[in-house]
Amino acid sequence: MAVLCVDPASFALPAAVQSSTQKVQPRKKSNKVSAKRRRRATPRSRRMHAAFVASTSLKPMARQLLQDRTPAAYAGVEAYARRHHQEDAGALAWLVLGYAHALDKDYAKAVDPLNRAKPRAGDLGDYISFYLGTAYSQSGRTAEAVTTLSDFEKQYPESLLLRDAHVLYGTGLLAENRSQEAITVLEKNRQPPRADLELALGRAYAAAGQPIQAAEILRNLYITMPLSAEASQADVEVKKLASTTPLPPLGLNGRRTRADLLAKGKRFSDAADEYRDLLSVASPSDRPEIQLAFAVALRRSGQDKEAKKALETLDSSALEINTQRLYNLGEIARNSGDEEGFLRYLAELRQAAPTSLWLQQALLSAGNFYLLKPDYDKAIDAYRELQQRFPNAGRASYAHWKVAWLSLRQGRAAEAKTGFEQQIGLYPASAEVPAALYWRARLAEEDKDTSMARAYYQKLSERFRNFYYGELARRRLRELKADDEPARDLPRDFPHYALLDRVPPISAGTSITTSDPPTDNLRYQKAQVLENGGLLDFAVLELQAAAREDQGNWVAAETAKLYEDAGRYDGAIQVFKRAVPNYFAVDLPTLPRPYWEALFPKPYWPDLKKFSSQNALDPYLVASLIRQESEFNPSAVSRANALGLMQLLPKVGTAVAKQEKLRHFSSAQLFTPEVNLQLGPRYFREMVDKFGAFEYALAAYNAGTNRVDDWLGQGKYRDPQEFVESIPFTETREYVQAILRNANVYRQLYGTP
């Protein structure tokens, strides 16, 4: 959801919504849980509760208006506001109308409803005043904007919009030629720094006849916040100042800082332009480092030819410069498929800097290069060298795993066994341990060592409960039968394998309980009222502020409820992913049921189940696929322009719509859940029919059918699970594993669909 900002040239979330910077002083801790504290209801609290109850019927209309903003939706909310004009619920409705007009950038129309909201504003007064001031400002009524905001701090000292209001007020004062007053307001609000405020302050100093101070502020914005929209505006302002006032030139350090920050922000093409300009003024001592940065930016922006030229002409007498030069030349060769050139640069790098980070990176590139060819023996050599040279490096465990796994793919079972066991022993906390446990157990099965297989499977099932390999381990345990002894189901019956003791326990294994929210907290109540107005982002901010004021661990659950109630299941999922990042490792009873239901929701279930069944698909598998693709956001759009719940490309949607005989289909209909759920399962079914296994179909859904055809042609696989672990693209491999894992969690939660 977008909201008004203080700059008339843009329209985005105010800083309070993007990341709340307004500090709310926490209460002193007490030994009592906040859920058990009960305060006597104040008049404000009673009024807020009454407003919440009275405005409940507004919620569906407000949501519809803010989502669609059709004439009918406007008319419905306005009729509600007029019926309740003498009530706080009516003020909320007028606020929603004004806010909706602002979303449409029809600021002049926003003024009237926001003014109508003022008489019954109550504790929503800060939102009403802020957006009224914004509407005045952006419709050219500056004097009224200034008047509206002049006593904002006095009226609403605890508002989350206070700093945004100061910036808006300062901008208005500047427009009224009251530059010194603007400076006073803005200077008091400079920490933490924000681009819109710095731009307004620089302009205020310029208007006040202090060009040197103005230039200093504007240049600092240009240098230190180059990713902001205001940075280019600041540059324009400085050039204006320079036309009338002699200004010192922008120093080399400042220009270098800007270029480095552009590169850090992945604006590589812009960074390359900055570095190119710097080369013309750099001193001989600074030039090599800048030229290297220039070449790297060119390479990262896809300009390999120019990057190679810059690297080949680089003064590489310094070891660190030469090391990075060789690495980048190698990457250019690798990207172009020049294997001979890549190996030549790798050999030079190995000779020049045998312990450098850049050799580590180059060896990883070499392993990945041969993995994709595929040339597994050469990939093994590169990965092994990486792990042996840098056994404690960040990618050492990954490289070690690849050596073990590719040894198995090459048919060298004994080497694979040793490698899997070493993986567990050397890197017991690594992400590859579940796979190492599983495949070592599989090899034990093939050796008829059922005791060892059971022990490894049991460890895997217990420690990595809801991981992909955890469920596979339980399946193998159910199927496993010993030839010469009764089946043993309990870990204590197994022979002890000391290696399994190396696997660390789950860091947080205790059950989580949530406290009751502080229903008498004004911010909590305010969040409820704002939710009734469809103002979800504001409601979430108020909840977070209430949590900072209060003890207890209720905020995640309450925030997720807001998102779920608004149909924003993706928001609820993200809340709990942040709150319990290791949830896949724990058993279901460890977390409250609402946590799981928010993490694995079932929206659109009747249609999802209906169209899944029509295509002979498990509804939980389809739900898991949707969770991975869009997190149940029907408006999701990918970088590749895939649309809706199941992220269908328009051309795919059009083709499947013809098969389904949908008349007058347009790609916009892919945002309609029912249509997306009719077409998506049909498309996925085609892939299942083509490849014969869900694992292959899921890989094709993510990476494309041609790639899966290629991967299936790269030798025989024991089963689809071996294929999955062999997928060379990390993203696709983890995608397939996550969907199959999530489908199992769905089954555990909800039973038979």
Q: Which residue has the tokens 């022993």?
A: 425
* Phi, psi for residue 338 in degrees, rounded to 5: -85, 85
CB atoms within 10 A of CB 718: 11
Q: Are 546 and 524 in contact (CB under 8 A)?
A: yes
Report the Cα 291 to chain-centroid distance in Å: 33
DSSP for 4-69 reads: --S-TT-----HHHHS--S--PPPPP-SS-GGG--PPPPHHHHHHHHHHHHTGGGHHHHHHHHHH-
Tokens at 311, concatenated? 């690297």
- Torsion sign across C-alpha atoms 663, 668, 673, 677: positive
Is the preceding omega at residue 374 within 30 degrees of 0, hence cis?
yes
Distance between start and end Cα atoms, the chain: 34
Q: Nearest Cα to 123, choosing from 163, 156, 169?
A: 156
107, with CB counted inside 10 A (0-12, 13-18, 19+), is buried
Q: Which residue has the tokens 């307001």?
A: 185
Q: Are 48 and 525 in contact (CB under 8 A)?
A: yes
Q: Are 433 and 503 in contact (CB under 8 A)?
A: yes
153, with CB counted inside 10 A (0-12, 13-18, 19+), is middle
Tokens at 297, concatenated? 């930016």
Beta carbons within 8 Å of 638's beta carbon, 6+ residues apart: 647
Of the listed 237, 629, 631, 695, which one is catalytic? Answer: 629
Q: How many alpha carbons lie under 13 Å from residue 646 in its C-beta half-sphere?
A: 30
Q: Cα–Cα distance between 205 and 211 in angstroms, integer?
A: 7
Q: Nearest Cα to 423, choosing from 485, 500, 310, 362?
A: 500
> Which element (helix H / strand E) includes 182?
helix 179-187
Beta carbons within 8 Å of 488's beta carbon, 6+ residues apart: 451, 454, 482, 494
* Phi, psi for residue 576 in degrees, rounded to 5: -80, -25
Give residue 189's identity as a one-letter amino acid code.
Answer: N
Q: Nearest Cα to 628, choosing from 573, 697, 561?
A: 573
DSSP for 458-518 reads: HHHHHHTTTSHHHHHHHHHHHH---SSS----SGGGSPP-GGGGGSPPPS--SPP--PPP-
Helices in 566-646 by DSSP H: which ranges?
569-579, 593-599, 605-614, 619-629
Q: Cα–Cα distance between 601 and 604 in angstroms, integer?
A: 10
Contacts made by residues 393-401, CB under 8 angstroms, sequence distance 24+: 393/360, 395/360, 395/364, 396/427, 397/423, 397/426, 397/427, 397/430, 397/431, 397/432, 398/430, 398/431, 398/432, 399/363, 399/364, 399/367, 400/426, 400/427, 400/432, 401/430, 401/432, 401/435, 401/436
660 is catalytic: no
Q: Cα–Cα distance between 549 and 229 in angstroms, integer?
A: 34
Strand spans (E) along 225-380:
none
DSSP one-letter code for 122: G
- Torsion sign across C-alpha atoms 644, 649, 652, 654: positive
Any idea which residues carry the catalytic annotation? Answer: 629
